[in-house]
Amino acid sequence: MEEQGQITHPSGELDPDVQRELLARARSAAQRAYVPYSNFPVGAAGLASDGSIYDGSNIENASFSLTICAERSAIVAAVFAGAREIVAIAVSAPKMPLTSPCGACRQVLNEFRPANQDMMVILDDESAGEPVRLESLLPRAFGPRNLE
């Protein structure tokens, strides 16, 4: 739960105010990206099951394989703070609306998807955002529950 109200409605959809906050935070995070090589900033804001929000941006490296995406940056911040379930994440790439997480990020997001619900991924469309379920981005995902 978030202090100001419900995170999700009974239908499983995100509260519109929460979705707006996530998008605003993701847009702000994109402005803090370190992207000297691609010049393609991306920001993300992840919503933990307790209502906390964790921001991240892509951080590039001259050794390109060591670059970290915004989504993974936000997840790392959340996990470091003690969160283990992320119910939603917003992704904003100012140069390309509706940018979706890469395959590696989808797999990392799946690791922290709540056991009892799907994760909502909000793609920035320069308006209210387009919510997409992680299941539709990563069907038949392999995750921690497969190892039980």
Task: With both helix axes pointing from N to C terminus, report the angle between 70-80 and 16-30 in degrees, rounded to the nearest 10.
Answer: 110
Calculate the average pLDDT of the chain.
Answer: 92
CA atoms within 13 A on the CB side of 141: 24
pLDDT tens per residue, range 112-137: 999 999 999 999 999 999 999 999 99
Task: Look at residue 5 and tell me if it is in a domain.
Answer: no
Helix (H) and strand (E) counts for the chain?
4, 5
Task: Look at residue 52 and tell me if it is in a domain.
Answer: yes
CA 126 to the chain's CA centroid? 16
Task: Look at residue 140 and tell me if it is in a domain.
Answer: no
Task: Report d(CA 118, CA 21) in Å as an integer.
Answer: 20
Two structure tokens written together for 103: 């395959």
Which pTM was predicted? Answer: 0.89
Number of domains in the chain: 1
Gap between the terminal Cα atoms of the chain: 28
Task: Look at residue 9 and tell me if it is in a domain.
Answer: no
Q: Which residues are catalytic?
A: 71
Task: Look at residue 93 and tell me if it is in a domain.
Answer: yes
pLDDT tens per residue, range 3-42: 334 565 555 689 999 999 999 999 999 999 999 999 999 9
Task: Report d(CA 10, CA 7) in Å as an integer.
Answer: 10
Task: Look at residue 55 and tell me if it is in a domain.
Answer: yes
Task: Look at residue 33 and tell me if it is in a domain.
Answer: yes
pLDDT of residue 145: 87
Task: Look at residue 47 and tell me if it is in a domain.
Answer: yes
CATH of the domain at 106: 3.40.140.10
Q: How far is CA 54 from CA 23, 65, 115, 141, 144, in A?
A: 12, 24, 20, 24, 22
Q: Which domain holds residue 40?
A: 16-135
DSSP state of 45: E
Q: How far is CA 91 from CA 22, 102, 145, in A?
A: 9, 11, 25
Two structure tokens written together for 66: 């060591």
